[in-house]
Amino acid sequence: MRMKITPGTLSGRIDPVIASKSWTHRALIAAALSGEPTMLNNIAPSADARATCHCLEAMGCTIRQRGEGLAIQPGPAAKEGLLDCGESGTTLRFLLPVAAVLGIRAEFTGRGKLAERPLSPLYEEMAAHGIRLSPQGQFPLRIEGKLTAGDYSLAGNVSSQFFSGLLFALPLAEGDSRIRIEGELESAPYVNMTIKALNAFGIRIDREESGFRIPGNQTYRSPGSLTVEGDWSGAAFWLAAGALSEQGVTCCGLNPESAQGDRAILELLRGFGAKTEETAGGIRVSRGQLKGMEINAADIPDLVPILAVTAAFAEGKTVIHHIARLRLKESDRVESVLALIRSLGGRAEATKHEMTISGGGLTGGTADAFRDHRIAMAAAVAGSAAPEPVEIIGAEAVAKSYPGFFEVFRSLGGHAEPLTE
């Protein structure tokens, strides 16, 4: 789908913002592993979350819609199942170890670039602990066996989803385990979020200087009900739009103390020079005198597309460091962000480890989303502030994490019109 964005800065109030996709994944898995039913309120209505639901049902759990929430009824683990992860890397990487520790003979499948996204070193660690796997890099990916307790080792600069998957699974193993982190752990806030979700379901994870110790033979205990908090990752697009708007944008339903790493967006927008205000009624961001800055993206890779758009409208240069892992997202996000900025009249370049965006504004043009939801949303925000229209190719990608994105965009005064192919 092509979407035409015509100029018109965004302003207004979003009450509340969409629920956190990251928290939704974690709450769904923990609830499915519990011994009792759980009511999950305020679930993210994303394609990725639906993929996790479908996979959990294939693994033996029952999930029913209850208003805006989901009722999770755990069941005996299936002996075998086909698990369709859609395009969700989180679903695949979280559930591979979980299915393995439950002894499910599973076939994982998916779409888009998912099969190409790397599974090493999780793949090799599972193979060393009792699991037989078909070759990675192609679907279906078949596993059989039962994941055993023991010592695991993962480089700190690999996907945090590998750590999270093992943290979900190993408490159920017959014996204690350790996960040793080689080097510095990147995207640490996502691992911290996983541990917080586990704690909410009665699971204990012990931190050690070299990584984590996971006592085995634990039991997930449902809290009965749980409300998923607002999504800082999704709100980042609206808060950045506020930084490009004199009237500003207010987002409600965000937890300032959230474990979500992407809450760093607020401090980063302040660093650019945007005006921010935190009140009981919400978080408001409006335009200030924006200037380029230095950004460390090691813990916030999902913010890079919208930060790059913000940087393009600031004065001077912005340098974003630690970008190598962006090449392993839904798209090669280094190349897709560069293409986005350049296609809309901006200047950007990258080396292996850093990206530089020159400020001065974007003019308009045609941007390819590369099947990447965050590129599509960043392009829409860019279009709202550019002086000429922006056409987005593949705008339907927003459904992966934010199906109602363009409805909210219009509610803030944005002009988004689907074009006939």
Task: Give 248-298 as a DSSP string.
Answer: -EEE-S--TT-S-GGGHHHHHHHHHT-EEEEETTEEEEE----B--EEE-T
CA count, 13 A, side-chain hemisphere, 21: 24
Among 165, 186, 215, the domain-final residue is: 215
* CA gap 78, 179 in Å, rounded: 27
DSSP code at position 38: E
* CA gap 227, 187 in Å, rounded: 24
> For each of the chain's 421 residues, which pLDDT tens digit applies?
999 999 999 999 999 999 999 999 999 999 999 989 999 999 888 899 999 999 999 999 999 998 889 999 999 999 999 999 999 999 999 999 999 999 999 999 999 889 988 899 999 999 999 999 999 999 999 999 999 999 999 998 888 999 999 999 999 999 999 999 999 888 889 999 999 999 999 999 999 999 999 999 999 999 999 999 999 999 999 999 999 999 999 999 999 999 999 999 999 999 999 999 998 889 999 999 999 999 999 889 999 999 999 999 999 999 999 998 888 777 899 999 999 999 999 999 999 999 999 999 999 999 999 999 999 999 999 999 999 999 999 999 999 999 999 999 999 999 999 997 6
Q: Is residue 242, in this structure, part of any structural domain at all?
A: yes
Answer yes or no: are the C-beta atoms of 279 and 297 closer than 8 Å: no
Q: Is residue 276, in this structure, part of any structural domain at all?
A: yes
* CA gap 256, 216 in Å, rounded: 33
For 183, phi and psi rounded to 5 degrees?
85, -165
Residues 262 and 303 occupy one common structural domain: yes
Q: Which two tokens stand for residue 244?
A: 């490009």
* CA gap 263, 118 in Å, rounded: 27
Q: Is residue 224, in this structure, part of any structural domain at all?
A: no
* CA gap 83, 120 in Å, rounded: 20
For 131, counting Cβ atoms within 10 Å of its Cβ (0-12 exposed, 13-18 middle, 19+ buried), the class is buried
Residues 40 and 14 occupy one common structural domain: no
* CA gap 120, 125 in Å, rounded: 8
Q: Which two tokens stand for residue 323?
A: 């970008």
Residues 28 and 14 occupy one common structural domain: no
Residues 43 and 192 occupy one common structural domain: yes
Among 180, 215, 250, the domain-final residue is: 215
Residues 284 and 236 occupy one common structural domain: yes
Residues 56 and 13 occupy one common structural domain: no
Q: Which two tokens stand for residue 31?
A: 């609830």
The count of domains in the chain is 2
Q: Which of 136, 179, 137 is CA-nearest to residue 160? A: 179
pLDDT at 420: 76
Q: Which amino acid would we find at residue 317? A: K
Residues 47 and 84 occupy one common structural domain: yes
Element (H, E) at 354: strand 354-358
Answer yes or no: are the C-beta atoms of 363 and 388 closer than 8 Å: yes
Residues 104 and 239 occupy one common structural domain: no
Residues 316 and 177 occupy one common structural domain: no
Residues 172 and 261 occupy one common structural domain: no
Q: Which of 380, 375, 360, 264 is CA-nearest to residue 311? A: 360
Q: Which amino acid would we find at residue 310? A: T
Answer yes or no: are the C-beta atoms of 146 and 130 closer than 8 Å: yes
Residues 264 and 312 occupy one common structural domain: yes
Using alpha carbons only, give the angle 408, 410, 415 rounded to the nearest 5 degrees.
145
Q: Is residue 114, in this structure, part of any structural domain at all?
A: yes
Among 159, 190, 215, the domain-final residue is: 215
Please give the biggest Cα pair distance in the chain: 61
Q: Tokens 């204690």 label which residue?
A: 176
Residues 203 and 276 occupy one common structural domain: no
pLDDT at 330: 77
Q: Which two tokens stand for residue 19?
A: 């629920």
DSSP per-residue string spanning 71-83: EEE--PPPSEEEE
We report the CATH number of the domain holding residue 176 as: 3.65.10.10
Q: Which two tokens stand for residue 196?
A: 């917080």
Q: Is residue 226, in this structure, part of any structural domain at all?
A: no
Answer yes or no: are the C-beta atoms of 415 and 8 closer than 8 Å: yes
Answer yes or no: are the C-beta atoms of 65 and 53 closer than 8 Å: no
- Please, what sign has the CA dihedral across residues 287, 288, 291, 297? negative
* CA gap 91, 204 in Å, rounded: 22
Question: Where in the sequence is the domain holding 388, given as residue range(s)?
Answer: 2-18+231-419
**Which residues on neighbouring strands pair with residue 250, listed in sequence order?**
13, 284
* CA gap 390, 117 in Å, rounded: 30
Would you call 231 a catalytic residue per the annotation?
no
pLDDT at 421: 60
Among the listed residues 84, 231, 262, 302, the single catalytic one is 302
Q: Is residue 223, in this structure, part of any structural domain at all?
A: no
How far separated are the first and last CA of the chain, in Å rounded? 7
Using alpha carbons only, give the angle 313, 314, 317 rounded to the nearest 5 degrees.
115
Query: Alpha helices, DSSP H only, in 264-401?
Result: 264-272, 304-312, 333-343, 373-385
Which value, in Å, is the radius of gyration of the alpha carbons in the chain?
21
Q: Is residue 225, in this structure, part of any structural domain at all?
A: no
Q: Is residue 221, in this structure, part of any structural domain at all?
A: no
Q: Which two tokens stand for residue 375?
A: 């590129």
